Amino acid sequence: MAFVTPALGQSLLRLFTVQGSWNYERMQGIGVGVAEEPLLRPLVRNGDQTAYRAAVARGAHFFNAHPYLCGLVVGAAARAEHERAAPEQVERLRAALCGPLGSLGDRLVWTGWLPCTTALAIAGVALGLGLPAVGAFLVVYNLGHVALRWWALRAGWAYGLRVGSALHQPLLQRAAAWSGPAMALAVGLALPLAARYLAAPFPTGARAVLAGLAATGTALLVWRRGQLDGLRFGLLLLVAALVVGQAWR
């Protein structure tokens, strides 16, 4: 279809604001409907907007998944509307994609790509690269996340009601499988480098105290799991540091 290329571009741009109208009733639904609308405009035929209006209304119904993968349901639902799928099929498609896209996005991005690139940036700063490491993080992370958004939108449009096939592509499955180990490796590299970098200004005795506090905190978090978390322990240390600082003065 001749409209696909510019319409997909418009839809992609709108996907960046998919959570701008987030609410507890429809979650991301309105944002998804807004992103889908450019792909639905050709449904207007000979001035009759009935099919177009109905499709736009369905596109704004409840939906909730990972924001970077919402394009998959946008493209798939729009393709289904063009293929004259029954409204019930479109609704079932949207409902069926919520869970898988949420789970896959969390594995790929929130527990994979984001902490992995962040840890590498922290390691770069600790090794003395400074702002260029931060700049590289912003470029690499955003290239990856924009590429994921674009792939999702194109795959959804290409597969339509058969969009489940896109989720079983070998490359996507390998990325999901390797995202966790890659994140763990990057974080394992960054932690000692960051600790050395942050401890450098302190004298040897203070470093020993910091190491002891870190070991104590780790032991407490394991021992009092469910009762103590990192935020509470950090706040306790902050209060203790303020008290000691005031007494030292």
Q: Is the pLDDT of residue 56 over 90?
A: yes
* Mean pLDDT confidence for 39-46: 88
Look at residue 12 in the predicted model and tell me its pLDDT: 95
Share of residues in the chain with pLDDT > 90 (%):
64
Q: Which string of b and e fits 68-95 if b means at least 16 CB within 10 Å?
A: bbbbbbbbbbbbbbbeebeeeebeebbe
Look at residue 155 in the predicted model and tell me its pLDDT: 94
Bridge partners of 27, per DSSP, are: 23, 63
Q: Is the pLDDT of residue 234 over 80?
A: no
Q: Identify whether the C-beta of residue 18 lies closer than 8 Å to the C-beta of residue 67.
A: yes
Q: What is the mean pLDDT of the chain?
A: 89
Q: Identify whether the C-beta of residue 167 lies closer than 8 Å to the C-beta of residue 156.
A: no
**Side-chain-side CA neighbours of residue 127 (13 Å):** 13
Q: Is the pLDDT of residue 2 over 50?
A: no
**Side-chain-side CA neighbours of residue 222 (13 Å):** 5
Domain range list for the chain: 4-187, 202-248
Share of residues in the chain with pLDDT > 70 (%):
98
Determine the Cα–Cα distance for residues 242 and 109; give it in Å rounded to an integer. 37
Residue entry with tokens 């470093």:
207
Look at residue 177 in the predicted model and tell me its pLDDT: 87
Q: Identify whether the C-beta of residue 69 lies closer than 8 Å to the C-beta of residue 152.
A: yes
| pLDDT band, residue 4 (cuts 50/70/90) | low
Q: Identify whether the C-beta of residue 34 lies closer than 8 Å to the C-beta of residue 46.
A: no
CA-CA distances (angstroms) from residue 42 to 47, 201, 208, 212? 11, 64, 69, 66
* pLDDT tens per residue, range 153-174: 999 999 999 998 888 888 888 8
Q: Is the pLDDT of residue 38 over 60?
A: yes
The pTM of the full predicted model, rounded to 2 decimals, is 0.82
* pLDDT tens per residue, range 87-122: 999 999 999 999 999 999 999 999 999 999 999 999
User: Pick from 122, 129, 107: which is nearest to 186 by CA?
Assistant: 122
Determine the Cα–Cα distance for residues 22 and 152; give it in Å rounded to an integer. 20
| pLDDT band, residue 207 (cuts 50/70/90) | confident
Q: Give 83's contacts (C-beta < 8 A, 6+ positions apart).
A: 160, 161
- 198/248: higher pLDDT: 198
Task: Output the CA angle 169-185-113, nearest 5 degrees.
Answer: 45
| pLDDT band, residue 138 (cuts 50/70/90) | very high
The DSSP 8-state label assigned to residue 25 in this structure reads: T
